[in-house]
Amino acid sequence: MALPVAHVATAIGFTKTRDLRVVGLLALVAISPDFDFFLVWCLDLSIALYHRTFSHSILFALSVAVLYRLLLPGYQHRFSAGLVLLALLSHSLVDMICTADAADHGVMLFWPFSEIRLGWPLVVPLYARFSESPFSAQGAFRFTMLEIVLAPIYWGSAAVLGAPLRKFRFFQPSSQDEVGQ
């Protein structure tokens, strides 16, 4: 299971900005799919059934990106809707490669059209060497330390994948002139 360091490092890899406000917001967007935990806890639902469902889907990522574009036009010169989309989709992708048992706690990427849980445990053996689970203070600490070491790999992978995408206007911040129109 990926923790915030992996999600944030990946999302930041998609941008070249040095504006700390943008980096902070991007970090928040990158971890926001896991806010479904709060919903699950507040409504006393089963984590196994409801975590990594709607908030980890392509539809959710697209909806948030479109809403952001429509509701916050004044922010587009700092932070494109495309970057929101990439941060959210990358969260699901990172979760998928950190999922030990896809059938049990994989990602419902195609919710609500399909409730199949997806996951490919590419980096799980590495995480498993450090702890069996992040659901303990020691496990969370060990996973976080591992992710700090792995952060350049997560960041670099996103930077390589994001380089061709940054050429498209959808992924670029708007110019100040466009915002003022």
CB of 74 to Zn ion, least distance (A): 29
Cβ-Cβ contacts under 8 Å for 156 (sequence gap 6 or more)? 13
Query: At its nearest, how many Å lie between Zn ion and the CB of residue 3?
Result: 9
Chain contacts with Zn ion (rule: CB under 5 A): 33-34, 95
CB atoms within 10 A of CB 124: 16
In the complex with Zn ion, which residue's Cβ is closer, 76 or 92? 92
Q: Which residue has tokens 């952001």?
A: 68
Dihedral (Cα; 68, 96, 165, 25), 10-degree rounding? 40
Residue 175 CA to its chain's centroid (Å): 26
Q: CB 7 → Zn ion: shortest distance, Å? A: 7
Shortest spacing between CB 59 and Zn ion, in angstroms = 15
CA distance 48 to 51: 6
Q: How far is residue 172's CA from residue 102's CA, in Å, rounded to a whole number?
A: 34
Nearest distance in Å: CB 177, Zn ion: 37
Residue 65 or residue 174: which is nearer to Zn ion going by CB? 65
- CB closer to Zn ion out of 10 and 174: 10
Q: What is the widest separation between alpha-carbon atoms in the chain? A: 54
Residue 95 or residue 147: which is nearer to Zn ion going by CB? 95
First to last CA, the chain: 44
Q: Which is nearer to Zn ion, 34 or 147 (CB)?
A: 34
Element (H, E) at 92: helix 81-97
- CB nearer Zn ion, residue 75 or residue 154: 154
Q: What is the DSSP code (8-state) at residue 132?
A: S
Distance in Å, CB of 106 to Zn ion, minimum: 11
